[in-house]
Amino acid sequence: MRVLHLIGGGDVGGAKTHVLSLLAGLKGHAEATLVSFRAGPFADEAAEKGIDTVVIEGGIRPSLAELRRLYREGKYDLVHCHGARGNMMGMLLRRFEKATVLTTVHSDPKLDYLGRPAAALTFGLINRFALRRIEYHVAVSDPVADMLIERGFSPYGVFPIYNGVDFGGPEPESFDRAAALARFGVTAGEGDVICGIAARLSPVKDIPTLLRAFAKAPENMKLILAGDGEDTEALKALSRELGIDGRVTFAGWVDDMDSFYRTLDINLLTSLSETFPYAITEGARRHCATISSRVGGVPMLIDHGVNGLLFEPGNVDALAEHLTTLARDGEKRRRFAEALYLKAKKYFSLEATISRQMEIYRAVLRRNGFTRGDRAEVTVCGAYGRGNAGDEAILEAIVSELRAIDPDLRLHVLSRDPKATRLRYRVDSSYTFNLHAMRREMKRSRLFINGGGSLMQDVTSTRSLIFYLHTLRTAHRAGAKVLMYGCGIGPITRERNRRRAGRYIENYVDAITLREDMSLEELKRLGVSKPEIVPAADPALTLSPADPALVESALLSAGASPEGKYLCLALRKWKGWEAKRADIAAAADSVCEKYGLEAVFLPIEGKDAEAAREVAQLMRTQSYEISAQEDARVVIGVLGRMRLVVSMRLHGLIFAAGQGVPVVGVSYDPKVSSFMSYLGADLCAGIESLTAEKLEALMDRAMLEGETFRERTAELRALEARNVSTARKLLGELPGGAAR
């Protein structure tokens, strides 16, 4: 693979470090050539590192002519741009040479020229124009990827990456800290705590907040500012005004950054905006305790209170408090520093960055060949973007399973909240009822998925049923294969709706995978026989719980101990609810007292919180309410910590069963009793016939039959794989030549 890198050549700081370390690390993985549009220190340093470096200077026209000649003669596979000048020239190469171009977004383009209005109106605008005309974007952290997606860039062409540093080689030998401090112009006494920041002295780095916080810090702290910039004189004046100029050293640009970090007790970052700054990982490599503003991808590395401290940008008092805490507690500094070093070495090494960059290169080369013309898209439609954890779990599972079939599929989801869907799942998305967008995407798609859940029913409304039936016909007529994925059918109660549903499903659907047996019987009653019908299971069964720290945070925020023993109640209001809530409360109290449990109420949908509170008020047992979560994996993690789950919500049962937790269903809808039957557990009561005694008896049985749940769950997971195999078959031979 041959890659041509383009950069302006005047770069400093993190962008410079990233490009040079990346190109040096790519040796042995790809043939890389660096074009710098300016002679000087950047190009010289690149050449010294053994990077194949070409300098092209002059105006745009002669530079472009020379660049086009170099591109053609070198027969490069990819052009990788960095910065405004590189992006502009890469855009022109794409235009005139049909080059495959990607760019690394090192920072927020809107803030790159903060405080320099003339540059913002020239270079800034040119850069933002060029970014829109480059299809693939490497974002230096997930927050930067989110920023691009929020601004309308397609998630299909956005690839997050994290700056890595080289943790290889032996630990440094003994270091003369006093001599290094003297070179920086710092005199430190015994007991002094040295903190420092390496940053360009410009508005976006928010050094004034640091100086104001430092003025409130203990007198034994010394501060080193390694960097220069347009704010230097103003910052020196501010330090004199605050009376801290005797404790603050302006060291200017520092060449030996390794020595700088090794002098520090505390590494600092106070930026208003960042991507994923090298200053944090470089400090971590040298075992610095760290305090940072909560910006960009920093929270991916720093776990507040575990391996460092975070504060909201611009918060002087919070930063001052953190400085004081670490100044007075040397043991905490050492503990934070070691924990940060271990995490950074494991997840943010240069090796990890190079591996990810090569993965991105391969993906771009694959995708550039079949983005549109080969109908590589899949459109997914369902009840998404409404804040329901069950529906979001279905979508998350479908997206994950489709990417397992082929990571290069371009996925488009119809959602009530397209922006949230784009950000959460990194898929293209449009508003559910934007019929023009729907038809456009279906014409581009090889496969249309009617996505899980009970979409084919008229209990909610006839209008929703008609809409979902309309999508089946529209997709079929657009030439896409149509799959109803892990779905439930019915109840469809009105005769006219039944005739319409039977006709549409029979004529416009290629295959149906079902999540339980009752739906198969309903299809037979509707007269559906032409599509392939496959017994499967709910896609949400495949989802794993969130990181334990997030699960524990959800419990702790409700006042519940992560080590507690709990009965979980996932309730909702329904017809007859008022007459039954006292029965639910009485049964829950009795079971909690019998088994030494406490009650946790978990709303699967936000509006369920009212039902939870009504039952909690009737109970004697200590109870906790977990706030409604749209993050299905957090809900799954919470349910996995329970000893028993009683749920009226279908996905409360599915999530808990997927974790092997005993469940009892309270059925307000046939889909609840149908799932419990499919699970092989006769542990369900209709809400109409529910009594405290009946519910308590079911809960007792569930506590005794836990192993049976785990065995049946394994069987359902095996059945769920049929959803994927059916989708794979309908997709057929995918672009790129591989039969997936």
Answer whether residue 419 shows pLDDT above 80: yes
CATH of the domain at 498: 3.40.50.11930
pLDDT band for position 388 (cuts 50, 70, 90): confident
Select from 302, 327, 346 the last residue of a domain.
Answer: 346
Is 167 within the bounds of a domain?
no
Residue 218 preceded by cis peptide, ω within 30: no
Answer whether residue 737 shows pLDDT above 50: no
Could you give the maximum distance between any two Cα atoms of the chain, in Å?
89
Select from 161, 192, 208 the last residue of a domain.
Answer: 161
Judge if 417 and 490 occupy the same domain.
yes
Judge if 430 and 519 occupy the same domain.
yes
CB under 8 Å to 173, separation ≥6 — which residues? Answer: none
Judge if 592 and 619 occupy the same domain.
yes
Is 341 within the bounds of a domain?
yes
Q: Is 83 left (phi over 0), alpha (psi -120 to 50) or beta?
A: left
Answer whether residue 557 shows pLDDT above 90: no
Is 450 within the bounds of a domain?
yes
Q: What is the pLDDT of residues 643-678, one digit of tens each?
A: 999 999 998 999 998 898 999 999 998 889 888 988
- Position 433 scores a pLDDT of 95
Answer whether residue 739 shows pLDDT above 60: no
Judge if 381 and 327 occupy the same domain.
no
Give the separation between CA 205 and CA 229, rounded to whole angstroms: 11
Q: How many structural domains are present in the chain? A: 4
Judge if 216 and 329 occupy the same domain.
yes
Is 68 within the bounds of a domain?
yes
- Tokens 């069963």 sit on residue: 657
Judge if 141 and 181 occupy the same domain.
no
pLDDT band for position 345 (cuts 50, 70, 90): confident
CATH of the domain at 154: 3.40.50.2000
Judge if 152 and 190 occupy the same domain.
no
* % the chain with pLDDT above 90: 65
Give the separation between CA 355 and CA 183, rounded to whole angstroms: 37
Give the separation between CA 442 and CA 436, rounded to whole angstroms: 10
The encoded tokens of residue 591 equal: 């079971």
pLDDT band for position 725 (cuts 50, 70, 90): very high
Judge if 140 and 35 occupy the same domain.
yes
Judge if 294 and 201 occupy the same domain.
yes
Answer whether residue 106 shows pLDDT above 90: no
Ramachandran angles phi, psi of 451, nearest 5°: -95, 80
Is 543 within the bounds of a domain?
no
Select from 309, 330, 346 the last residue of a domain.
Answer: 346
Is 271 within the bounds of a domain?
yes
Judge if 194 and 275 occupy the same domain.
yes
Is 542 within the bounds of a domain?
no
Q: pTM of the predicted model, to two decimals?
A: 0.75
Domain that includes residue 274, residue range: 177-346
How far apart, in Å, do the first and last CA atoms of the chain sit?
25
Judge if 478 and 443 occupy the same domain.
yes
Judge if 218 and 318 occupy the same domain.
yes
Is 154 within the bounds of a domain?
yes
Give the separation between CA 675 and CA 89, rounded to whole angstroms: 58
